[in-house]
Amino acid sequence: MSVHFKFDYRKFPSNPSEAFPQRHSANRPVIPITLISGSSSIKYLALIDSGADLCVFHAEIGEQIGIDIESGKKQEFNGIAGEKMPAFFHHIEIEVGGYRLPCYAGFCRELTKMPYGILGQQGFFDAFYVTFDYNKEKVELKLK
């Protein structure tokens, strides 16, 4: 049995700039997932980010599914502006298109400026073949 999903890119607001005066939105490969810890779960949006090493989610979301965030193993990573941001890692499950898989994910309090979580190399890309089609605004996932 082949596990295969296609998702549409999502549109996010973007401010025009000198370089891109007509730009009012940006299309991104952000997909709906479910984060699961024990018997608790929550639906959540996450960016499929081939440049991210790890999966990192908002600490508040982890707390909503019963995780004691700071009890996890600490790992610092660089934020968008290069600042160091601590994340605390826990074993959870994520559900994508109805398919569950284990994920060792970080939860970060400083992720507040991001409107979604991050699906990175370890924990997501190691489980799926990912094909981005920017022109068609689609992302395709196939289980490895």
pLDDT digits (tens, 9 = 90+) for 1-18: 578 999 999 999 999 999
**Does residue 78 lie in a domain region?**
yes
B/e letters for 120-132, b = 16+ CB within 10 Å, e = fewer, are beebbbebbeeee
**Does residue 17 lie in a domain region?**
no
The domain of 88 spans 4-11+27-143
38 φψ region: left (φ > 0), alpha (ψ -120 to 50), beta (else): left
CA distance 92 to 36: 6
Our count of domains for the chain comes to 1
The residue-averaged pLDDT of 50-56 equals 94
**Does residue 106 lie in a domain region?**
yes
User: In this predicted structure, what is the pLDDT of residue 80?
Assistant: 64
Strand, helix or coil for residue 112: helix
Place 71 in a pLDDT band, splitting at 50, 70 and 90: very high
User: In this predicted structure, what is the pLDDT of residue 113?
Assistant: 84
CATH number at residue 90: 2.40.70.10
**Does residue 61 lie in a domain region?**
yes
The residue-averaged pLDDT of 28-43 equals 98
Q: What is the pTM of this model?
A: 0.93
pLDDT digits (tens, 9 = 90+) for 73-132: 999 987 666 778 999 999 999 999 989 999 999 999 998 888 999 999 999 999 999 999
**Does residue 20 lie in a domain region?**
no
User: In this predicted structure, what is the pLDDT of residue 2?
Assistant: 74
**Does residue 19 lie in a domain region?**
no
CA distance 128 to 80: 25
**Does residue 113 lie in a domain region?**
yes
**Does residue 21 lie in a domain region?**
no
User: In this predicted structure, what is the pLDDT of residue 139?
Assistant: 97
The end-to-end CA distance of the chain, in Å, is 12
Q: φ and ψ at 15, to 5 degrees?
A: -80, 135
